[in-house]
Every structure is written in structure tokens, then in C-alpha cells.
Amino acid sequence: MRIATWNVNSIGARLDRLKGWLAAAQPDVLCLQELKCATEAFPADQVAELGYETAAYGLGRWNGVAVLSRVGITDVRRGIDGDPGYEDAEEARAIGATCGGVRVWSVYVPNGREPGHAHYQYKLHWLEALHGTVLVETGGAPQRPFAVLGDFNIAPTDDDVWDISRFAESTHVTEPERKALAVLRDSGLTDVVPRPLKYDHPYTYWDYRALAFPKNRGMRIDLVYGNQPFAGAVSDAYVDREERKGKGASDHAPVVVDLDL
DNA sequence: ATGCCAACCCGGGGTTGA
């Protein structure tokens, strides 16, 4: 089984790219983030032509997540328990579904803006709620392959950014954010680190500006956190950096995981 | 060449992203 995650930075702007990538990469399950569309506006008919069912969750112009599957899609959950919301409003940042016997969550963790900002506190609280959801979902079915995939907006180690000295006073690399990832790992999840197709670091995001991609000034912030039944079945994992190339690319590349399931 | 920010909504500019 092939499972992937991809922050598309607008499904509307990326639809042609998405369809081309689905046809080429042939994932069985694809977790999407940053749809930037409402649930009912997701182009489900377009991906259905390629054999995929859709479970989407979007509330408007920001955020938005989905799961596409060609191996069935059941038990869909929109949002996580205890979601703190931002400024009294819940955002569309998580959707769970069971596909071909694997339980997956597609997540778009809040950015945080800057340390000390209200959005940064929101990010940490949101991650606490995600942890709670993981405990409930994995505790009830410990033998079922389970994974949280998506844009975590956190680089797990200094090695996961192109130059740590450029990230002083920045989000994505702070100790509290990394601690939140450690808490997820302590609850039984493993960071499934993909291999890069070029260069030494499996970056998944490169800024659009300042030639970041050609210079490989990237970050590994799109992560796959799987339980033992999931991580133990992984046969390969890679970042499809080819999808970051050319006109009309997202600023994130897909992360692809192959499983012996 | 991998190539110098893009997408949203609104109606040119502010907001967001990381």
C-alpha cells in the first residue's frame, strides 16, 4: 500500500498538478492540507474520475484538509476533541479516516506566527489536543496500523532546516514545539523519515522566494508519525521533490510511504 | 537548468504562510 501526504497550498490552484501527480505516483491514500476551500467546494468529481473517493473538511479560504482513497474510506471524523480553536473559532485542520484497514489523520498544524504570539500558544494547545486524540484512537485498537500525516509546521531537529542559525527567534524550531513532537513519539508513534531523492536532507518545504528551492534551502516539516504496526510495515519512504519543480508548484513536496500491508 | 513569492477575497491591497 502506498500512502502519501502533501500540502498543496490551494486545491483550486493545484488541481491540474494534483491530477497529474495522482496518475503518476499512484498512491492508494493521499492526505492533503491547505485546501483553501470549503468542504462542499472540493473537486471530488475530478478525483473520482481517477478512482479516488474523498473525505474533505474545509471552512473557507484558509486551512482545509482531506483524505483521498482508492481502497475505501470509512469512519470519517472532522476535527479533533479538545480543539482550542483560534479566537473562538474552530479551524479545519484535521480529518481522520480508515482506508484499506489503515487509520490515517491528515493534519495541518497551526503555524504559530512567532514565539509569544497568541497563535503560537494556539499551536501548542492544538498539539495537546492532537495528542489526546492519538491516545484515544491508538489505545482502542493497538494492532491497527495508524498514522498522523501532514504539515506539522515543526522541524524535529536542527538538521531538518537548511541553516539553524537563520532560525533564531523563529517558530518551527523552538523547544516547546519539539517537545510536543516528543510527546507524540512517547505515545507510541515513530517519525517515519523519508529519503531525499537528491542532496543529503529530506526537506519537504522550500520558500517560493530567493531561489530557496534551487539552493536547497528547505525544511522538513511535513511528517509521518505512525504506530508500530504502521512503522514496522514501511518498506520505503521518500520526498518527491520533482513535484516542487516548475511553474505552478506548491511550496511543499509530497511525502510518499510504501507499506507491506 | 531546480530560477528570484503565491494564494486568498475583492475589485488594489491587506492577510497569510514558514
At A88 the pLDDT is 80
Q: Is the CB of A167 under 7 A from strand B?
A: no
Q: Cα Rg for chain A, rounded, in angstroms?
A: 17
Contacts of residue A15, defined as CB under 8 A and 6 or more positions apart, other chains included, come to: A43, A46
Q: A85-109: buried (b, 16+ CB within 10 Å) or exposed (e) per residue? A: ebeeeebbbbbbbbbbebbbbbbbb
**Residue A207 annotated as part of some ligand binding site:** no
Cβ–Cβ < 8 Å for A68, A29: yes
If you write DSSP's letter for every residue of A215-232 in order, what string do you get? TT-EE--EEEEE-HHHHT
Report, in ranges, which bases of strand B sit under 7 Å from a protein C-beta.
2-9, 16-18
Separation between the CA of A89 and the C1’ of B15 (whole angstroms):
17
Please answer whether residues A71 and A28 qualify as being in contact, where contact means their C-beta atoms are separated by less than 8 angstroms.
yes
* pLDDT attached to residue A169: 85
Q: Is the CB of A195 under 7 A from strand B?
A: no
pLDDT at A60: 84
The answer to whether A66 touches A106, Cβ cutoff 8 Å, is yes
Residue A134, CB, strand B, below 7 Å: no
Distance A205 CA to B5 C1' (A): 14
The one catalytic residue among A28, A151, A160, A222: A151
Is residue A252 annotated as a catalytic residue, yes or no? yes
Q: Is the CB of A209 under 7 A from strand B?
A: yes
pLDDT number for residue A251: 96
Closest nucleotide relative to residue A170's CA, C1' based:
B18
Residue A85 is classified by DSSP as -
Express each pLDDT in A170-185 by its tens digit.
999 999 999 999 999 9
* Closest nt to residue A14, judged CA to C1': B7
**A52, A86, A108, A122: which is the annotated catalytic residue?**
A108
Q: What is the pLDDT of residue A193?
A: 97
Strand partners, A103: A98, A146
Could you identify the residue written with the cell 505552478?
Answer: A248
Give the CATH number, domain containing residue A50. Answer: 3.60.10.10
Q: Is there contact between A182 and strand B, defined as CB under 7 Å from any strand atom?
A: no
Separation between the CA of A11 and the C1’ of B11 (whole angstroms): 23
Flag residues of chain A having pLDDT under 50.
none
Sign of CA dihedral A155, A158, A161, A163: positive
What is the domain count for chain A?
Answer: 1
Query: So what's the pLDDT on residue A13?
Result: 93
Protein residue with the closest CA to the C1' atom of nucleotide B9 = A61
Asked whether the beta carbons of A86 and A110 are under 8 A apart, the reply is yes
Edge to edge, what strands does the sheet with A53-57 contain? A53-57, A65-69, A29-33, A2-7, A255-259, A234-239
Range of the domain at A135: 2-259
* Dihedral sign of CA atoms A139, A6, A69, A23 in order: negative
Q: At residue A91, what is the residue type?
A: E
At residue A1, the pLDDT reads 98
Please name which of A167, A250, A168 lies closest in space to residue A208, comparing C-alpha atoms: A250
Q: Is A16 helix (H, G, I), strand (E, B) or coil?
A: helix
Distance (Å, whole) CA A39 – CA A32:
13
Does the reported pTM lie above 0.85?
yes
